Amino acid sequence: MQRADAILGLGLESSCDETAASVVRNGREILSNVIYSQIGLHREYWGVVPEIASRAHLEKINRLVDTALGEAGVGFKDLDYVAATSRPGLVGSLLIASQSAKAISFSCGIPYIAVNHLEAHLYAPFLEGWNPEYPYIGLLVSGGNTVLYRVDGVGALTVLGRTVDDAVGEAFDKVAKFLELGYPGGPIIEKLARTAAHRNILFPKILPDSGEYRFSYSGIKTAVITYMKEYPAADHAEVVYAFQERALELLVRRAFQALREHGATAIVVAGGVAANGRLREMMEESRRNGETVILPSPVLCTDNAAMVAGIGYPYFMRGNRDPLSAEVSARV
């Protein structure tokens, strides 16, 4: 039995290659968080195939909604709102969660809330008891995004810098593909890097300047390829160690630069790459007294619906509603 004052939100996520449904109470308490990963479907293609992704979302979404409601011990009649990722992402995939959410909204007579996937990622720590003081610096790192934000409140995100080419997670995937290590590249490279016998820095620092916040990863990817062509017998563990150190160092440097220049005290790191253990170590090593680094648990770093239901709550409470005619978008 739910408390009379409990606000229940159902979140749906299908922006890329995870299908997910979640029920969250009062924007903070996860009652269920069900995720179906499509990695097995895309591994042989070394990346996400949009047509396969959208078809798999369509096949799984209804069962995941039923499972999420069942695990939470609630029914459709108990929901106060339904939220779904509407941007950014693969359009064909986004349509599955958004159309499902609209159908639930219409049939149950509850508000539909269209969610910015990137803002949802930055909300993930709020689901684990964190309450960072505004403004804070948000570092969003994943296979498709590398963006640095100043966050002044819900819906108040200012882009400080973003990648001008590859996202950091994309660079991990491309290096892993070139070295024929497997897909997805991030976890494989992190694991292999920890076995390196010699931990030499083989590649130059990325963007050594300090006057801006942009990111770039095509150069380090090319450096790895060039090095392997020159030294084909090089130990892969040592190469990916050097690659990972340089790739992550730029993230850490930019995040703390923004923190100190904007007078903030906390950095929230979110997105799939935030699950990287070495990145977590480097963030902690760079932190000064009085500075806080907040990283969600790994399950909340990758795409999930709890963060979607969670960020839907403050929008619901301030009266935001989206029409059933609202469209999805590949971009923010």
Q: Mark whether 115 and 16 lie in a shared domain.
A: yes
Instruction: Name the band, by pLDDT with cuts 50, 70 and 90, for residue 242.
Output: very high
> What is the per-residue pLDDT for 1?
36
Q: Is residue 313 part of a domain?
A: yes
Q: Mark whether 138 and 257 lie in a shared domain.
A: yes
Q: Mark whether 148 and 228 lie in a shared domain.
A: yes
Q: Is residue 146 part of a domain?
A: yes
Q: Is residue 203 part of a domain?
A: yes
> What is the per-residue pLDDT for 5?
78
* Tens-digit pLDDT profile for residues 40-82: 999 999 999 999 999 999 999 999 999 999 999 999 999 999 9
Q: Mark whether 239 and 119 lie in a shared domain.
A: no
Between 289 and 211, where is the model more confident? 289
Query: Mean pLDDT over all residues of the chain?
Result: 96
Query: 320 burial class (0-12, 13-18, 19+ CB within 10 angstroms)?
Result: middle
The yes-or-no verdict on residue 108 having pLDDT over 80 is: yes
> What is the per-residue pLDDT for 7?
98
Q: Mark whether 114 and 56 lie in a shared domain.
A: yes
**Residue 111: cis peptide before it, omega within 30 degrees of 0:** no
Q: Mark whether 50 and 117 lie in a shared domain.
A: yes
The residue whose two tokens read 């989206």 is: 322
Instruction: Name the band, by pLDDT with cuts 50, 70 and 90, for residue 3.
Output: very low
Q: Is residue 273 part of a domain?
A: no
Q: Mark whether 117 and 19 lie in a shared domain.
A: yes
CATH number for the domain that contains residue 251 = 3.30.420.40
> What is the per-residue pLDDT for 313?
98
The yes-or-no verdict on residue 204 having pLDDT over 90 is: yes
Q: Mark whether 109 and 167 lie in a shared domain.
A: no
Task: Give the whole-angstrom CA distance, residue 307 versus residue 79.
Answer: 16
CB burial readout 157-178, b (16+ within 10 A) else e: beebbebeebbbbbbbbbbbee
Q: Mark whether 145 and 225 lie in a shared domain.
A: yes
Q: What is the percentage of the chain residues whose pLDDT exceeds 70?
A: 98
The yes-or-no verdict on residue 210 having pLDDT over 80 is: no
Q: Is residue 181 part of a domain?
A: yes
The length of the chain is 332
> What is the per-residue pLDDT for 39?
96
Q: Is residue 285 part of a domain?
A: no
Q: Is residue 94 part of a domain?
A: yes
Number of domains observed in the structure of the chain: 2
The values of phi and psi at residue 239, to 5°, are -70, -45
Q: Give SS3 for 160.
A: strand
Q: Is residue 72 part of a domain?
A: yes
Instruction: Name the band, by pLDDT with cuts 50, 70 and 90, for residue 211.
Output: confident
The yes-or-no verdict on residue 2 having pLDDT over 50 is: no
Task: Give the whole-angstrom CA distance, residue 197 versus residue 235.
Answer: 9
* Tens-digit pLDDT profile for residues 292-332: 999 999 999 999 999 999 999 999 999 999 999 999 999 98
> What is the per-residue pLDDT for 98?
98
Averaged over 270-287, what is the pLDDT? 97
The yes-or-no verdict on residue 4 having pLDDT over 60 is: no
Q: Mark whether 156 and 192 lie in a shared domain.
A: yes
Structure tokens at 127: 């689901």
> What is the per-residue pLDDT for 21?
98
Between 3 and 199, where is the model more confident? 199
Range of the domain at 209: 134-264
Q: Mark whether 236 and 153 lie in a shared domain.
A: yes
Q: Mark whether 76 and 142 lie in a shared domain.
A: no
